[in-house]
Amino acid sequence: MNLTRNLCNKILLALLIAFVVCASAETMTGSAAEHAVPASVEKTDDRASFGFRMAAGYNTFWNVDQEHSVMGLMTVEGLDEMRGVWAGLGGTVKFPLGSGVWIRPGLNFSYQSKTGSVTVDFDGSDDGTADVLETLQQLGHLTIKQILLDVPLMLRFQAQSGFFVEAGPQFTINLSTEMDYSVFKVAVDNLARDYVVSGAVFVGSSFALGSGRLEIGTGVAFSLTSLITDDLEIPGMPLTLDGATLVDPKDLVVQFETTYWFL
C-alpha cells in the first residue's frame, strides 16, 4: 500500500510540474501567437509529421522496500534510496486518428544510471548450520548503468492551443547493463532482464517555431516488469533461480522533454 501511495505521489508531483511548465509556456507564447502565427501554419499540425526528441530527467526504483529479504539468507537495505540521471534522444512520428486524437510511436536511445549505499546483511539459518553468516555485513555503493532502446506507443489528446496529454505502453530493450558493488565483485552479466515493459504518461504544450512546432513537456515512465531476469544462473552453482522473486526492482523515470516537429 505504501509503495502504491509513493508511486502515485511521484506521478502527481510530475504532473503538477508539467502544468506549471505548460502554463508558463502558454503565457509567454500565447500573445505572440495571436498576431504573429498565420492560420495556415496552425492548420499544418493536423497532419502526420516526424519529430526529433531530446529528454533528460532522473530515475529511481518505485516498488522496493527499505529492507528486502532474499530467501531468508540475507537482507538487502538501501535499494529504495538509489537515484540517478536519465537522458535520451531519438525520433518519433504522429498520425491523426480524429479530431484532436493522435497515435505517436517512437524510437529512442537512452542512458540511465543510479547509485546508492546498499547494505547486504547475512542472516544465518534457524538450525544453526550457518550462524556464522550473522556476523557478516557488507556496506558499499551499488552502481547500475544501462544503455537502452525505448519503443513507446502513445495515444495523444491535443487541444487547438497546443496543450496535450498522452499515455500508453513502452517496450524497452536492454542493450547494455553494468552493475558494480564496491565491497565485493559479483558476476552479474546475466542479471538484468533483456526487456522491460512500462507504462508512461506525459503532458505538455507546443507552439509554432519556424516551419514546424516546438513541443515542451514532462511525464513519468514506470516499469511493470522487474529489472532482474526470471532465469538467474549463479556462477559455480548448478541451479537456476527466479531472480525476479529474489529482488524485484522496477524503474521509475521522471522526464523533461522537448520535441521539434517537422511539418
Q: Which residues contact 220 (CB under 8 A, 6 or more apart)?
A: 10, 11, 14, 200, 201, 252, 253, 254, 255
63/196 Cα distance (integer angstroms):
15
pLDDT greater at residue 29 or residue 118: 118
Q: What is the pTM of this model?
A: 0.71
Asked if 244 and 228 count as a contact pair (C-beta separation under 8 A), the reply is yes
182-225 pLDDT per residue, tens: 665 554 555 778 889 999 999 999 999 988 999 999 999 999 98
Average pLDDT of the chain to the nearest whole number: 76
The third-level CATH classification (topology) of the domain covering 2-64+84-114+143-231+247-262 is Porin (2.40.160)
- Domain coordinates of the chain in residue numbers? 2-64+84-114+143-231+247-262
152-183 pLDDT per residue, tens: 999 999 998 999 999 999 999 999 888 877 66
Cell of 32: 505572440
Q: What is the pLDDT of residue 37?
A: 43
78/247 Cα distance (integer angstroms):
12
3-class state of residue 138 by DSSP: strand
